[in-house]
Amino acid sequence: MGRTMILGWCVGLALAAAAIAYPLYANGYYLALGISILYFTILATAWAMFSGPTRYISLATVAFFGLGAYTAAVLGETMPWPVVLLAAAVLGALVAAITGLSTLRLSGIYFVIFSFGLAELIRQLVIWYEVNVHKSVGRYLFSALTQDVLYWQLLGLMTLVFVAGWLLGRSRYGLALRAIGADETAAGHSGIDATRVKLGVFMLSSVFMSVTGAVMAPRWTYIDPSIAFNPMISFQVVIMALLGGAGSLFGPVLGVVPLVLLFEVLTATLPNHFSILLGAIFVLIVMMLPKGVIGLVETWWCAARTDGAAPVRNESGPLLVVDGVGKSFSGLRAVDQVSFEVARGEIVGIIGPNGSGKTTLLNMLSGALLPSSGTIRFGDVMINGLRPYRIARLGLARTFQLVRVMSDLTVAENVAAALLFGAAPPVSGNTTETSRRLLDAVGLGAMRDTPAGELTYIDQKRLELARALALEPRLVLLDEWLAGLNPSELETGIALIAKLRDGGMTIIMVEHVMDAIRALCSHCIVMNGGSVIARGVPDEVLSDPKVVAAYLGDDDA
């Protein structure tokens, strides 16, 4: 192992030396080729930093690139060059912040189109400004910086982008990003403030793009909006990054190099048929990739957490007080004036026929829905209206009716996400220790490195529970966690829940499995049509004629 490492390092250093000394031995053409590869690598890697893990395919690359180019064009002849680059970086971050704040709520294809529209809008605004305020559309930038200096600037920038990407990947924010990309809802319920993470990385990636634009501008001498904001650049960057693999740090460069060279070979040998051949090759490549272009995401190491304050715990009184909570969806009252209390250490059951509002109630407790009326007090904090990640951090965890594991992440990573962003630092040991403990507790110890999407149904449920427990919650909401289990699995499941309660955990279970309710719950409430129709000890409640009628239907109805 040691020898391979040393060999690896030697090769790496030799390559680095060759790269740095390149302008000294390459002729003008090869240097130009090297410049092309470098600037596309920077753009593609910066793009993949954000768009890869989050799956938000952004076509706004050229918006930031162009802004950087324009900054250089405007300031290039009056300010010292480092100031120009700094200005480009700041402008890129600013515009990214503004657009990110307004748009990161969009998802899927809408974000793609929006990002494209953004680039066009910025271009039109720049044109309008140039025409009406500056009274001249093109800007001239004469620079004494040679191709060599340009190359070295790009080389430095590329090193920076790789370093930044590597650091990001190692930090908990890298994991958060991938969790968001895998399942944003689950990530939110694991304590991750998705918007802030997305915004931060979006800004970081945009800064690299705008500085690249500023560095490249002097090469073209004349900058006008169609030169600076050329949409082809956005598309090319996306294609290169996706083809090379946007999920890993060095993936994009693997897409950049062959494509740039391919473009070159085609341009040089068959200029008249460049387009046709390029298109045909493209189509061939995409068709031949067996699992589509979204590649598998590589495993990253999780770093230990650094901060997090434990919430003040009020030890007396009920843990959860739900008072008059209701939820209406444009006239449909899904939950109507529900009130109940949950004392510490007890298991409360919520039962009722389908459509009675149970899951809606749970969603309001965990923050996925905003209550239309009423209050929810958890410990001594009013939690109605708080976002899911805040409630998660306060110590209220949940599982989902339709299992939501982050399928591209491994079992260990699913748990790690909650550990790194949840409430308190682990009481004993570090993150890896704690996750091992949790996984053993739910019986998944042997499957740490299996991608969660490959688990069986019961194991995914266990993973969900482990993830919920990783938040070190005071209260766990189980949403039909025992559904779909065979008798022996059911036994194990019930035993697991009982063990949790014995360890001091407070639990609310929504269930249809009456045996479990009888076995576990100290008391339960019955919902029908959005309201509570009965409450009490399970045996009493389950023989209440009203409850029976609700489940089986009225004879008179």
Give the footprint of other proteins on residues 78-107 (CB under 8 A).
102-103, 105-106
CB of residue 489 vs other proteins: minimum separation in angstroms?
Answer: 27
Helix-strand-coil split of the chain, %, nearest 5: 60, 10, 30
Residue bearing tokens 């048929």: 273
Measure the CA–CA gap between 422 and 312, rounded to whole angstroms.
15
Measure the CA–CA gap between 374 and 360, rounded to whole angstroms.
14
Structure tokens at 121: 């809008």
132 binds other proteins (CB under 8 A): yes
Query: Would you say 100 or 425 has its CB closer to other proteins?
Result: 100
Which of 310, 307, 337 is CA-nearest to residue 322? 337
Measure the CA–CA gap between 24 and 35, rounded to whole angstroms.
14
Binding residues for other proteins restricted to 280-309, rule: CB under 8 A: 280-296
Taking the C-alpha atoms of 500, 505, 509 and 513 in order, what is their torsion angle to the nearest 10 degrees? 20
The secondary structure of 320-355 as a DSSP string is EEEEEEEEEETTEEEEEEEEEEE-TT-EEEEE-STT
Structure tokens at 426: 């682990």
Residue bearing tokens 């025992």: 482
CB of residue 117 vs other proteins: minimum separation in angstroms?
Answer: 5
CB of residue 254 vs other proteins: minimum separation in angstroms?
Answer: 5
Query: Would you say 360 or 435 has its CB closer to other proteins?
Result: 360
364 binds other proteins (CB under 8 A): no
CB of residue 245 vs other proteins: minimum separation in angstroms?
Answer: 7
Query: Would you say 297 or 475 has its CB closer to other proteins?
Result: 297
Which of 171, 174, 193, 185 is CA-nearest to residue 393? 193
> Which residue among 12, 138, 317, 553 contacts other proteins (CB under 8 A)?
138
CB of residue 153 vs other proteins: minimum separation in angstroms?
Answer: 15
Q: Site map for other proteins, 29-58, x if CB under 8 A?
A: xxxxx--x------------------x-x-
Query: Would you say 51 or 205 has its CB closer to other proteins?
Result: 51
9 binds other proteins (CB under 8 A): no
CB of residue 410 vs other proteins: minimum separation in angstroms?
Answer: 15
Query: Would you say 8 or 317 has its CB closer to other proteins?
Result: 8
Output the CA angle 55-60-63, nearest 5 degrees. 160
CA neighbours closer than 13 Å in the CB half-sphere of residue 379? 15
Query: Would you say 31 or 197 has its CB closer to other proteins?
Result: 31
CB 377, CB 323: distance < 8 Å: yes
Query: Would you say 185 or 221 has its CB closer to other proteins?
Result: 221
185 binds other proteins (CB under 8 A): no
Which of 444, 437, 446, 482 is CA-nearest to residue 463? 444
329 binds other proteins (CB under 8 A): no
27 binds other proteins (CB under 8 A): yes
Instruction: Look at residue 523 and give its three-state secondary structure.
Output: strand
CB of residue 151 vs other proteins: minimum separation in angstroms?
Answer: 13
Q: Please give the single-letter amino acid code of residue 104.
A: L
Stretch that binds other proteins, among 225-233, 354-362, 378-386, 498-506 (CB under 8 A): 225-233
CB of residue 131 vs other proteins: minimum separation in angstroms?
Answer: 5
Phi, psi of 223 (to 5 degrees): -115, 120
CB of residue 427 vs other proteins: minimum separation in angstroms?
Answer: 38
Binding residues for other proteins restricted to 247-266, rule: CB under 8 A: 254-255, 257-258, 261-262, 264-265
CB of residue 176 vs other proteins: minimum separation in angstroms?
Answer: 20
Binding residues for other proteins restricted to 372-431, rule: CB under 8 A: none
Phi, psi of 110 (to 5 degrees): -65, -40
> Which residue among 12, 156, 279, 317 contacts other proteins (CB under 8 A)?
279
Q: Which residues share a beta bridge with 509?
A: 349, 478
